[in-house]
């Protein structure tokens, strides 16, 4: 079973096109609060999302092939290093998020700043959908997909994003670095060549530390599951076949 975990600010819909090109059975999980309700009492911290993901994987009756993108990648790295018994394999992008010197991008720093983050999303919600979609288009997402992604960012998602990012300062390694070692399950780090949020040299270094392979997604950007679903599915299929 291939299990997909999306990132921020997204929903599980980002995987729909890619999943249609897969060889095996798959499911795309929805992070609590992202296109679905936020459970009562759920703090939306990085560790609570890890617990949520561990519970979801445990409920599956066999080790899974876990694929994560963006924050879903961060959760994947944590599960792979701390709960490897749940995995048959793992695959994730933005590996730099697990590097000890990782510095958050500009959006993250805004969201992590009390007041500024709230204002960011308040202003976003009052702007025209076309303007919100244009931000995703700047990163290579096609127009219709960009509008769909922009429309999904509601107040619940915004609040979860703020809580999630504020739980991860100065960076994830500061909290999870004790488990930064080769993983028991085979892994693959993906590097989209046009992703402004991912540095290839750092990606290669993290892959080496985790004992994982490394695959460059040529010509694709941060939102590679939408930009190149067939090409990306081919890479994922090939990797999972190699560890079967």
Token duo for residue 219: 């010509």
Closest CA to 69 of 9, 121, 17, 149: 9
Where residue 108 falls (left for φ over 0; alpha for ψ -120 to 50; beta otherwise) is alpha
- At the top level of CATH, the class of 2-102+172-243 is alpha beta
Boundaries of every domain in the chain: 2-102+172-243
Predicted local distance difference test score (pLDDT) of residue 24: 82
Interval 177-220: pLDDT, tens: 988 899 999 999 999 999 999 999 999 999 999 999 999 999 99
Predicted confidence band of residue 244 (pLDDT cuts 50, 70, 90): confident
* Cα–Cα distance, 104 to 97 (Å, whole number): 8
Q: Is the pLDDT of residue 80 over 90?
A: yes
CB contact at 8 A, 64 and 2: yes
pTM over 0.85: yes
Q: Is the pLDDT of residue 50 over 90?
A: yes
pLDDT mean over 163-185: 95
pLDDT mean over 10-23: 96
């Amino acid at each position: 079973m291939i299990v997909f975990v999306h990132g921020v600010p997204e929903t599980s819909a980002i995987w729909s096109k890619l999943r249609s090109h897969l060889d095996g059975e798959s499911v795309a999980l929805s992070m609590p609060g992202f296109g679905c309700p936020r459970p009562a009492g759920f703090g939306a911290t990085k560790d609570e999302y890890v617990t949520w993901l561990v519970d979801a994987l445990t409920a599956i009756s066999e080790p899974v092939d876990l694929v994560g993108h963006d924050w879903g990648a961060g959760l994947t790295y944590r599960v792979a290093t701390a709960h490897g018994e749940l995995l048959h394999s793992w695959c994730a992008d933005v590996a730099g998020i697990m590097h000890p010197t990782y510095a958050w991008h500009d959006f993250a720093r805004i969201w992590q700043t009390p007041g500024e983050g709230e204002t960011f999303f308040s202003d976003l919600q009052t702007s025209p959908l076309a303007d919100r979609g244009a931000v995703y288009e700047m990163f290579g997402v096609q127009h219709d997909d960009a509008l769909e992604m922009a429309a999904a960012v509601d107040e619940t998602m915004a609040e979860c994003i703020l809580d999630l990012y504020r739980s991860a300062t100065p960076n994830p390694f500061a909290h999870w670095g004790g488990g930064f070692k080769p993983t028991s399950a085979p892994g693959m780090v993906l590097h989209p060549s046009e992703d402004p949020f991912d540095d290839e040299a750092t990606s290669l270094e993290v892959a080496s530390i985790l004992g994982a392979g490394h695959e460059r997604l040529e010509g694709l950007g941060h939102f590679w599951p939408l930009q190149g679903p067939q090409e990306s599915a081919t890479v994922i299929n090939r990797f999972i076949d190699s560890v079967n």
